[in-house]
């Protein structure tokens, strides 16, 4: 074997590899970008006054969703850090304030997605409150004395200067309360903005604006029932002097606050309601104050009748723990924000109106399955809600659907051992899905392997086979055969066996159909298998047993050859593809990346890189390797045939990389640049240690996105209605043609104008579209090729005009049904043409008028 | 939002017989009617004419039974020695029989006395039949010959002495009056053509031939002898098509059912096997009390008649579904069509507000209780006799669900003597079941933990606990033995495998043993 050969040779190869790395680092063509899927449940969502839109913070953006269609209408971009607060402007209900950790408060017009004003505060802002009584002032929570390190925060009133200009320095800060909790739900405005109540730990603070006094009520942390009566959230009654507080032990206390007696130590009165078994996460009064809404880990929305708290209603099984509750200003919509990155909008009749679901990153921020790509939908598949797999469209940043794997009632209780989906695999055609769920309680392990067949009629996966306890130990790896003829699944277990599962028809044909059964059980010297991998043509199976890689023939289940590169256990294993299918790549825990040649059964090359993750691209020969060096992750992309990286980037992200996946692109890029060529066919996504989904994008791609977003911005400056899409577009395209003359570079954007209209048309929900007969007219006319671009000859134009006049005369005879808008596409053209065209339109109007006038006169004369 | 998900009842693969169309069909026969004959029933033959009477040859008599009567319609008793092979002519008017006295007798079905007697054989005649043209009789005898007789003149038309041992069976061709086939104890099956002096085809069965049968198409021939049933392709010059070895004693009789769709074979091992004639796989199996000598299926398949060595004739009649139907449908009148469409075809007007009724989900009682977190009640409802005895998997599933919810201990606690004894009896019944063992062991531990203090207060409970202990001890011993056997098998495999085959053989061994080992481990865990 070559690896036993001269050490010098190996050394030279290694240096070559690393030497190449240094050279390649300089490239800046490819950038790491955060892609979608940020938390939308971070702060309380708000519903606009007319209940049409829902606003929620998503990372450093604010998203505007329609409450009826769940569609995302706008994205308000501008903050450079996490958005921490959102409030409607009390003086203008079409505007919204947002605050962010970047130290700014921004005022937006959310219907047009316009940034109106930016107030620069220069401190991290953790929360934002507004009140109608305090116009021109917002209340924000800042770190104490501007010191970010301390854990204490203060509530301050920020006076917003009235100066004009897009960016204003706001310096007029007045401290209201100190030592408050930075959590948004722990502070609330009281009736009419007369007072503000804030809770922190076991202390409730109320500040009255009229006499500018602060009253504190400190509860004993050493309660006889244990110190669990810490405050978790506060909500004030909108019409009454009442503060509702939620506690860690699940109790809700209603405090009767009066300006007179709150200061006297003993005379505060409160009543207690108890339903939640664990902490109350969110509390909210309805705008009329008739009901109090509360939610917690139980994922049940409890509706308490105010003044009659024995009567309560429940909305059970909302899916996941409730983090925030908000109510629309008219009280018609309730909105709950859940821990699984979901917002549920519910009518006051408890019917679910909309569910807005973001990328679920597990309840405990933990994705245990590999990232997979569903070949049918090109969606990302990974852990979703507990016991579910989510199908997430990367392109649209939207969850497609959830597949219930465990199919059991989820008990929302902390400390329970739940079933969790730990492994998932999809075969190359997307017709089979294999999942592993496990539950470990003490020493008892409960595993089941489930196989799901794709059902064409229902367009989803249906459970085919359940195998309970496929292995005696945990399943360490699972993969489908890449060959298309036979569908085979291989699982490796901690019990020292690997098993091959085959789809077998049941012996009697009248039975319900094919199901999966075990075909082969293999082991190697009682070692524990860790990884398995099929070769590209599906004839070989590689299974790694600690330090040894074994290769098995699938036709005879014979052990063909073993490779090993001690010391160090095999960490990752993959076969090369396409032209490199004769290579097998492996990484070991002792910082070695090895490439074996399967034809000569020897080590082709090896390199001393601490690879933590190896990910082959299914569409090309490329393999991506993430390596960890001094806390930072570097990426190398290489072909197995040569130990020279095609591309490398240092310091992709801090911390570790957990998972990665190549997702095929919808349209191939045609970059010829060597460093970006590997991104032509597919895009690399990866999950960082903090469960953020990142991707690599090239410069040209970014430019394209920027260009398209610019176009979008123009489109969205006018309210997007289907009518606008049809009628307004034409008018605008006229404007654009003017631009075209002045600026030839934007010509490309104008070209697919008709097709974007159609696309918009198709994306608009059917129930908001005008009638089809109306649309058909438009549609057909939009397909007509405009002749005006070709014509340049003046005489020719005149002729055309004449003929058009004739046409019009004919049309007028046939009741004159032609509309001006329909004429649009033929009318549009060069600017020079506009004047005669307009005069013609006017002329026609006149003629129409004249005609109707005549009839009038005629009837008059007759009478 | 999401509706309540009912408890998942785990289903286990059925290890027993698979229910197929065939099993459903053959099970559709009633329990057999037993008729005692005077001796071993050697031949049963159905009249080809409706109402399909059948002739039963036993000892010195031939009796004709009607399709549903248990008393013989007619019986022919004029035999001085054992009669053999009572067979109807294709018009159902005449019956021929051989006998131990080397005579062949011809009877009119409505008469009593023999119409003709054919003498010429030297020894017992075991096989008689009519030729397809109805004018001739075939016979096979222990004198190694088979002969052809003219019915009217009782003259011998031909004699074929090619067999070298007893001729015990045969069959005429139904399509060609000149062809017939005989099977003999000299292991051969021979095809004779009356127009030729000698046999035209000879097939070696390899065992003394007990029965031969032609397919309706007459392209295929079936012969039975020894433990084998062989199917021969006549058109290919007597090649063996398939050899079936499904019986473990001599196959004595063959018959065809359903226009050649199914082949039945009866054997001395007391089984009747039914084969599909397309796949030649056994599709069904009947058991009988004694060794079977003869079998026949009515032409309309209304009954299966089997004759046995102990002289018992077993008749199975088909069940008729229409017998029970009127009783079932008459008692319960369905609501009229009107009721179903009532209100369904109402078109909402423009300003109508549609109020949807929530779909009602039918939940099992235990699911209802689990939904409202009433754990003890849920456990009580699955410990009711009809659940715990008939569907223990439901009980176990609910116990598992309670365990998952972390409330199993609460559900088990607080039971009185009666409740506890029910629980213990359930454990005793099911704890050694490998499907339920893991969770039931947990339950047993919990029960002992909870009720440790009250041991000794009730005689019933104490007795049951002792029984449980005894059961578990027995199970441990059993497991130990199994492990020993496994060790022995492992050593055997280790020694016999040679170097080349080691990989494949071992893998197979592992494959087979993995199941055993898995089950064993489960059992070990249970203890």
ipTM: 0.70
- Report the C-alpha gap between A466 and A516 in whole angstroms: 9
The per-residue pLDDT for range A155-212, each reduced to its tens digit, is 888 888 887 777 888 878 888 888 888 888 888 888 878 888 888 888 888 888 887 8
Return the residue of B nearest to A299 by Cα: B1
Among A65-69, A840-844, B160-164, where is mean pLDDT lowest? A840-844
Is B122 an 8 Å CB contact of chain A? no
Mean pLDDT score across all residues of chain B? 86
Selection from A548, A537, A603, A599 nearest residue A570 by Cα: A548
Residues of chain A found within 8 Å of residue B371, distances taken between Cβ atoms? 409
**Is the pLDDT reported for residue B160 higher than 60?**
yes
Return the residue of B nearest to A499 by Cα: B511
The per-residue pLDDT for range A692-740, each reduced to its tens digit, is 788 887 777 667 666 655 444 444 444 555 666 565 555 555 555 555 4
Question: Which A positions 433-462 lie with beta carbon below 8 A of chain B?
Answer: 439, 441, 444
Q: Give phi and psi for B399, each to the nearest 5.
A: -60, -40
Name the β-bridge partners of A138: A158
**Whole-number percent of chain B with pLDDT over 70:** 91
Q: Do B10 and A468 touch (CB under 8 A)?
A: yes
Higher pLDDT, A282 or A783: A282
**Is the pLDDT reported for residue A64 higher than 50?**
yes
Question: Which pLDDT score is estimated for A721?
Answer: 59
Q: Do A521 and B510 touch (CB under 8 A)?
A: yes
Question: Which pLDDT score is estimated for A159?
Answer: 87
The pLDDT of A779-801, averaged and rounded, is 56
**Whole-number percent of chain A with pLDDT over 70:** 76
Is B518 an 8 Å CB contact of chain A? yes
Residue B18 has its nearest CB partner, among A417, A508, A522, at A508
Question: Which pLDDT score is estimated for B124?
Answer: 92
Is B14 an 8 Å CB contact of chain A? no
Residues of chain A found within 8 Å of residue B442, distances taken between Cβ atoms? 444
Q: Do A522 and B401 touch (CB under 8 A)?
A: no
Among A182-191, A445-454, A817-826, B452-461, where is mean pLDDT lowest? A817-826
What is the DSSP code (8-state) at residue A527? P
The per-residue pLDDT for range B270-318, each reduced to its tens digit, is 999 999 988 899 989 999 999 999 999 998 888 999 999 999 999 999 8
Q: Do B1 and A518 touch (CB under 8 A)?
A: no
Is B514 an 8 Å CB contact of chain A? yes
Question: Which pLDDT score is estimated for A538?
Answer: 82
Tallying the residues shown for chain B, one arrives at: 527
What are the angstrom distances between the C-alpha of A378 and each of A394, A680, A717, B79, B170? 8, 16, 32, 87, 70
Residue B8 has its nearest CB partner, among A408, A472, A511, at A408
Return the residue of B nearest to A413 by Cα: B405
- Identify whether the C-beta of residue A682 lies closer than 8 Å to the C-beta of residue A619: yes
Higher pLDDT, B402 or A486: B402
Is B438 an 8 Å CB contact of chain A? yes
Question: Which pLDDT score is estimated for B354?
Answer: 77
- Identify whether the C-beta of residue B225 lies closer than 8 Å to the C-beta of residue B187: yes
- Identify whether the C-beta of residue A564 lies closer than 8 Å to the C-beta of residue A548: yes
- Report the C-alpha gap between A357 and A72 in whole angstroms: 11
**Is the pLDDT reported for residue B525 higher than 60?**
no
- In the structure encoding, which two tokens stand for residue B330, read together? 């008459």
Rounded to 5°, the CA angle A121-A123-A126 comes to 105
Higher pLDDT, A862 or A261: A862
Can you give B66-88 as a three-state secondary structure string? Answer: CCCCCCEEEEECCCCCCEEEEEE
Return the residue of B nearest to A301 by Cα: B1
- Identify whether the C-beta of residue A498 lies closer than 8 Å to the C-beta of residue A491: yes
Rounded to 5°, the CA angle B275-B278-B281 comes to 35
Question: Which pLDDT score is estimated for A835?
Answer: 44
Sign for the pseudo-dihedral over CA of A115, A117, A119, A120: positive
Question: Which pLDDT score is estimated for A149?
Answer: 60
């Amino acid at each position: 074997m070559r690896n036993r050969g001269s050490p010098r040779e190996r050394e030279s190869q290694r240096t070559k590899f690393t030497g190449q790395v240094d050279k390649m680092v300089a490239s800046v063509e490819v950038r790491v970008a955060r892609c979608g899927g940020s938390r939308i449940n971070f702060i309380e969502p708000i519903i606009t006054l007319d209940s049409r839109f829902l606003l929620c913070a998503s990372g450093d953006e604010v998203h505007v969703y329609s409450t009826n269609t769940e569609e995302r209408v706008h994205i308000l971009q501008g903050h450079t850090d996490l958005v921490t607060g959102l409030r409607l402007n009390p003086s203008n209900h079409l505007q919204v304030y947002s605050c962010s950790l970047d130290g700014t408060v921004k005022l937006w017009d959310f219907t047009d997605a316009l940034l109106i004003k930016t107030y620069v505060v220069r401190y991290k802002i953790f929360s934002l409150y507004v009140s109608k009584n305090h116009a021109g002032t917002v209340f924000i929570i800042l770190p104490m004395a501007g010191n970010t390190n301390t854990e204490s925060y203060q509530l301050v009133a920020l006076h917003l200067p009235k100066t004009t200009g897009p960016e204003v320095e706001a310096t007029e800060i007045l401290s209201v309360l100190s030592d408050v909790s930075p959590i948004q739900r722990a502070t609330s405005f009281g009736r009419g903005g007369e007072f503000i109540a804030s809770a922190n730990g076991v202390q409730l603070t109320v500040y009255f604006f009229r006499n500018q006094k602060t009253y504190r009520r400190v509860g004993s942390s050493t309660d006889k029932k244990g110190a669990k009566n810490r405050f978790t959230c506060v909500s004030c009654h909108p019409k009454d002097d009442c503060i509702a507080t939620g506690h860690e032990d699940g109790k809700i206390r209603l405090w009767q606050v009066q300006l007179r007696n709150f200061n006297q130590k003993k005379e505060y009165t409160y009543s207690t309601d108890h339903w939640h078994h664990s902490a109350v996460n969110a509390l909210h009064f309805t705008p009329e104050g008739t009901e109090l809404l509360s939610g917690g880990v139980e994922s049940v929305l409890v509706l308490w009748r105010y003044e009659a708290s024995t009567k309560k209603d429940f909305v059970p099984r909302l899916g996941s723990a409730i983090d925030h509750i908000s109510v629309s200003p008219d009280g018609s919509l309730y909105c709950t924000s859940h821990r699984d990155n979901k917002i549920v909008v519910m009518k006051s009749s408890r019917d679910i109106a909309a569910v807005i679901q973001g990328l679920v990153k597990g309840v405990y921020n933990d994705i245990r399955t590999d990232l997979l790509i569903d070949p049918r939908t090109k969606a990302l598949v990974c852990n979703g809600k507990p016991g579910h797999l989510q199908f997430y469209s990367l392109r649209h940043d939207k969850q497609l659907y959830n597949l219930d794997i465990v199919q059991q009632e989820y008990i929302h209780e902390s400390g329970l051992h739940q079933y969790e989906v730990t492994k998932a695999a999809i075969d190359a055609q997307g017709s089979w899905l294999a999942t592993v769920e496990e539950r470990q309680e003490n020493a008892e392990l409960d595993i089941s392997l489930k196989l799901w067949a794709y059902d064409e009629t229902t367009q989803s996966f249906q459970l085919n086979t359940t195998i309970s306890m496929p292995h005696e130990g945990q399943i360490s790896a699972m993969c489908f055969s890449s060959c298309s003829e036979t569908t085979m699944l291989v699982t490796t277990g901690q019990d020292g066996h690997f098993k091959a599962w085959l789809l077998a028809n049941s012996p009697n044909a009248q039975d319900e159909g094919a199901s999966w059964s075990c075909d082969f059980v293999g082991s190697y010297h009682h070692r524990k298998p860790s990884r398995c991998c099929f070769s590209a043509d599906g004839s070989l199976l590689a299974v790694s047993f600690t330090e040894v890689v074994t290769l098995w023939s699938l036709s005879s289940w014979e052990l063909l050859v073993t490779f090993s590169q001690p010391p160090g256990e095999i960490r990752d294993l993959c076969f090369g593809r396409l032209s490199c299918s004769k290579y097998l790549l492996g990484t070991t825990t002792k910082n070695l990346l090895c490439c074996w040649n399967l034809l000569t059964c020897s080590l082709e090359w090896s390199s001393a890189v601490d690879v933590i993750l190896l990910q082959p691209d299914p569409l090309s020969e490329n393999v991506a390797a993430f390596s960890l060096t001094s806390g930072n992750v570097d990426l190398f992309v290489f072909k197995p045939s040569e130990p020279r990286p095609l591309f490398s980037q240092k310091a992709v992200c801090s911390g570790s990389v957990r998972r990665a996946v190549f997702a095929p692109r919808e349209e191939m890029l045609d970059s010829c640049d060597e460093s970006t060529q590997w991104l032509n066919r597919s895009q690399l996504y990866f999950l960082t240690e903090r469960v953020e989904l990142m991707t690599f994008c090239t410069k040209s791609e970014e430019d394209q996105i920027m260009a398209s977003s610019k176009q979008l911005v123009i489109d969205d400056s006018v309210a997007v209605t289907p009518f606008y899409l049809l009628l307004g577009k034409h008018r605008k395209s006229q404007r654009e043609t003017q631009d075209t003359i002045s600026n030839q570079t934007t010509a490309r954007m104008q070209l697919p104008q008709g097709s974007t209209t159609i696309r918009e048309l198709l994306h608009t929900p059917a129930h908001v579209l005008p009638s089809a007969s109306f649309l058909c007219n438009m549609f057909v006319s939009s397909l007509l090729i405009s002749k005006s671009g070709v014509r340049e000859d003046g005489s020719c134009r005149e002729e055309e005009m004449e003929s058009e006049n004739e046409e019009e005369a004919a049309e007028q005879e046939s009741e004159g049904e032609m509309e001006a808008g329909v004429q649009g596409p033929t009318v549009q053209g060069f600017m020079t043409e506009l004047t005669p065209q307009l005069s013609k339109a006017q002329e026609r109007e006149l003629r129409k008028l004249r005609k109707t006038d005549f009839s009038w006169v005629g009837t008059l004369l007759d009478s | 939002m999401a509706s309540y998900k009912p408890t998942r009842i785990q289903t286990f693969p059925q290890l027993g017989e698979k229910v197929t169309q065939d099993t459903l069909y053959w099970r559709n026969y009633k329990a057999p009617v037993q008729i005692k004959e005077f001796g071993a029933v050697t031949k049963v033959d159905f009249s080809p004419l409706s109402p399909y009477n059948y002739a039963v040859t036993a000892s010195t008599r031939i009796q004709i039974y009607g399709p549903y009567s248990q008393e013989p319609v007619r019986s022919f008793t004029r035999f001085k020695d054992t009669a053999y092979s009572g067979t109807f002519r294709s018009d159902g008017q005449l019956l021929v029989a051989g006998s131990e006295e080397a005579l062949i007798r011809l009877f009119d079905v409505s008469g009593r006395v023999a119409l003709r007697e054919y003498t010429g054989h030297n020894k017992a005649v075991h096989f008689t039949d009519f030729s397809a043209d109805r004018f001739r009789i075939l016979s096979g005898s222990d004198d190694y010959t088979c002969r052809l007789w003219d019915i009217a003149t009782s003259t011998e038309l031909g004699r074929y002495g090619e067999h070298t041992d007893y001729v015990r069976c045969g069959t005429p061709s139904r399509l060609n009056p000149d062809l017939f086939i005989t099977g003999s104890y000299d292991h051969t099956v021979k095809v004779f053509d009356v127009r030729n002096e000698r046999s035209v085809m000879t097939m070696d069965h390899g065992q003394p031939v007990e029965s031969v049968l032609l397919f309706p198409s007459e392209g295929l021939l079936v012969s039975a002898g020894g433990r084998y049933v062989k199917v021969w392709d006549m058109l290919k010059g007597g090649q063996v098509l398939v050899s079936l070895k499904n019986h473990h004693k001599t196959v004595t009789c063959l018959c065809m059912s359903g226009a050649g769709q199914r082949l039945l074979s009866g054997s001395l091992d007391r089984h009747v096997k039914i084969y599909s004639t397309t796949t030649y796989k056994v599709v069904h199996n009947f058991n009988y009390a004694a060794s079977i000598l003869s079998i026949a299926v009515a032409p309309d398949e209304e009954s299966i008649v089997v004759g046995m060595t102990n002289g018992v004739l077993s008749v199975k009649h088909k069940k008729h579904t229409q017998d029970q139907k009127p009783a079932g449908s008459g008692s319960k009148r369905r609501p009229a069509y009107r009721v179903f469409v009532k209100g369904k075809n109402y078109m909402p007007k423009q300003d109508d507000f549609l109020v949807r009724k929530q779909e009602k989900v039918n939940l099992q009682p235990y699911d209802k209780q689990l939904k409202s977190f009433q754990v003890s009640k849920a456990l009580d409802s699955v410990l009711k006799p009809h659940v715990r005895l008939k569907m223990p998997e439901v009980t176990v599933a609910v116990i598992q669900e309670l365990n998952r919810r972390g409330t199993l201990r609460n559900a088990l606690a607080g039971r009185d003597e009666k409740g506890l004894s029910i629980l213990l009896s359930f454990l005793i019944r099911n704890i050694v079941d490998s499907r339920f063992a893991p969770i039931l062991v947990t339950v047993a531990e919990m029960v002992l933990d909870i009720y440790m203090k009250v041991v000794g207060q009730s005689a019933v409970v104490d007795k049951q606990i002792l029984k449980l202990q005894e059961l578990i001890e027995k199970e441990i011993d059993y497991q130990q033995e199994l492990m020993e056997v496994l060790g022995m098998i492992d050593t055997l495999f280790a020694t016999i495998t040679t170097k080349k085959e080691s990989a494949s053989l071992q893998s197979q061994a592992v494959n087979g043993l993995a199941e055993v080992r898995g089950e064993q481990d489960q059992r070990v865990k249970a203890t």
